[in-house]
Chain A
Amino acid sequence: MNYVIIGNSVAAVGAVRGIRSIDQSGNITVISRERHVAYGRPLISYLLGGLVTEKRMAYLPEDFYEKQRVNLLLDSEVVGLDAEARKVTLAAGDTIAYDRLLIATGGDPFVPPIEGMTDKERIFTFTTWDDAAKIKGIANDIGKVVVIGGGLIGLKAAEGLHLLGKQITIVELADRILSMAFDRPAGRIVAKKMKANGIEVLTEETVVRIEGEGSDITGVTLRSGDFIPCDTVVVAIGVRPACTFLKGSGIEVNRGIVVDDLMEASIKGVFAAGDVAEARDFFTGVKNPMPIWPDAYIQGDIAGVSMAGGTKEYAGGIAMNSIELFKVPTISMGITNPQEPKEFEILTYLDQENYLYRKIVIKDNLLAGAVLVGAVDRAGIFAGLIRDRVDIASFKEQLLVPDFGFAHLPKELRSALFAPAGKVTDTGAPAPAVGH
């Protein structure tokens, strides 16, 4: 069996392990357009800010590819797929045949055309190690930066630049930062903290023109007409599934590659996982891209197992983010900002002075989402309650207790979820190692 994986980030790693959990002998080829072995992509802001060294960027032990017998092709971009002949074409012209193909190419940063951006040198995106390295390379020369987009990528870029002592203005179109993960109070708390750290946050605002002469930037003009001087611009509006190379392949692509619960695409033998895929949402069942690190791993694992002939089904994606900004930890999960608030029961606790906030979103006595700001300990218990669809009616009032835990659950429920005493005695055979 010939397995080919396009992409080399967390979904690909999950897939390699998934394949090897079933098939020890098949050939696995991983093709990456980047020149690095798998790295902790979310660490690029830490790299930019100098909180981690290049050595710490590696996501895997050095011997991973060798131990898993992976043929790794770095710095190679796949430009075409012939699903009929089961082969992919590389930019260099060679073709690689497969029996099972996984597309785990992630996302491409979306850069809309902005007036005045042509020929400007210092316009960056911020999604790869090399993006961070490029900015770091000219860091001494950077004075003031405008970050377009106040989502996760923009805030992380801002944080990294702030650690380098740069002056930053974030321009966000929505009424709050992190609008995908946060509601208004949470967005406000974090924005307040950022302002306290000297970062300017402009909401409901957008950049209409990048000003300057030749390749140099002198500033940006906003929709309101205001001018913000800067010498560098980071475009962090969002990412789009990286699947333009599938044009003409016959694979069904909506916003991302549409996959079923086995992560298989519309053509047999082709699978997709991670930011490039469009899989079922946990709550609605509707397929949508879910650019979340843990979810990418899970999808990759399922894809790998399916490709090797095993069965493992996707339970649906749940959005989940843990972001610490300027020492305020935040964790959000599930539905945090319901479109139809009337259908939901919402419990909140807010102490803005101390940067503390907790929001619990409930639907039909099931936990649908949570936002935790400041006190985030044991947040995963909420994730478990969501995933296991636990009826929370009997302990609803306790969900806002800062040290909420299993003690607040009825005993029967506690033993079912947490099994304090342990239920089954297994054979004693060690579980197979993962993470190598």
Chain B
Amino acid sequence: MKRIYTLEDACIGCHLCEVACITEHSQSKDPVKAFLHEPLRPISRCTVEEWDGGIVSFSTTCRHCDEPDCMRACISGAIRKFDNGVVRVDTEQCVGCWSCVMACPYGAIQRNLTKKKANKCDLCPDRKSPACVDACPNRALVFKEGSQK
């Protein structure tokens, strides 16, 4: 399946992937409206890691594992892997127990504390290519066929 990969040498730590992710999953899909006017603004599903004063930076996100540890740890059955390989969390079913946060070796599941729900990459079902990838000005994110590791 197609997954999101990050070329850390090309990443400049601009966090635009996070902005694009929040925008895509907002109600308005407009960055200004999403950031200024949406009380339940989503949180980013990708995380830019930085270290050494920003010399090292890269964006991390869900690997949509073949045997997802998050799914196995989920106590409510909210996390499922679908036929197209995408691992999704059903936020209605999620109870916010953070078992997935405990299990994911990629640290790719966030805690949405406002909604008390697990938050993870859904590979942007409404788009041809994920919003984070399209938004990266340095093409440090690639969407291509590949394995989880």
* A contacts, CB < 8 Å to B: 14, 40-43, 46, 51-52, 56, 58-61, 293-294, 297-298, 301, 320-324, 329, 331, 333, 376-381, 383-384, 387-388, 403, 405-408, 411, 414, 417-428, 430-431, 433-436
Contact = CB atoms under 8 A, between A and B. Distances in A.
Contacts of A414: 8
A421 B7 CA distance: 5
A215 B110 CA distance: 49
Interface of B: 1-3, 5-8, 47, 49-51, 56-58, 60, 66-73, 75-77, 79-85, 92-93, 95-107, 109-111, 142, 144-149
B9 to A, nearest CB: 9
A59 B76 contact: yes
B8 to A, nearest CB: 5
A52 B95 contact: yes
Contacts of A376: 98, 101-102, 111
A431 B85 contact: yes
Contacts of B6: 420-421
Which of B49, B96, B100: most chain A CB closer than 10 A?
Answer: B49
Contacts of B97: 42, 322-324
B75 to A, nearest CB: 4
Contact of B49 (A320, A384, A407): A407
Nearest to B73: A294
Contact of B146 (A377, A417, A426): A426
Nearest to B96: A324
Contacts, number: 180
B60 A406 contact: yes
A301 B145 CA distance: 27
A380 B93 contact: no
Contacts of B93: 56
Contact of B1 (A40, A383, A405, A431): A431
Given A293-B73, A430-B1, A420 B58 contact: yes
Contacts of B149: 417-419, 423
Instruction: State the 6 A-B residue pairs at the shortest beta-carbon distance, nearest first.
Output: A384-B105, A435-B80, A378-B107, A407-B51, A422-B146, A380-B104
A294 to B, nearest CB: 4
B72 A298 contact: yes
A206 to B, nearest CB: 30
Given A293-B73, A421-B8, A422-B3, 15 more contacts: A14-B72, A40-B95, A52-B95, A56-B92, A61-B80, A322-B73, A322-B98, A379-B101, A379-B102, A380-B70, A419-B148, A421-B7, A422-B144, A433-B82, A435-B82
Contacts of A378: 47, 101, 107
Contacts of B83: 430, 433
A377 B84 contact: no
B99 A324 contact: no
Given A322-B99, A383-B103, A424 B146 contact: yes
A421 B102 contact: no
B147 A422 contact: yes
A87 to B, nearest CB: 31
Nearest to B5: A422
B1 A428 contact: yes
A380 B107 contact: yes
Nearest to B57: A407
Contacts of A294: 69, 72-73, 99, 103
B106 A380 contact: yes
Contacts of A421: 5-8, 142
A329 B147 contact: no
A380 B5 contact: no
15 contacts: A43-B95, A56-B95, A322-B98, A324-B96, A329-B111, A376-B102, A377-B110, A379-B107, A384-B105, A417-B105, A422-B144, A423-B147, A427-B145, A435-B77, A435-B82
Contact of B105 (A380, A403, A424): A380
Contacts of A384: 105-106
A435 B71 contact: yes
Given A387-B105, A420-B8, A436 B80 contact: yes
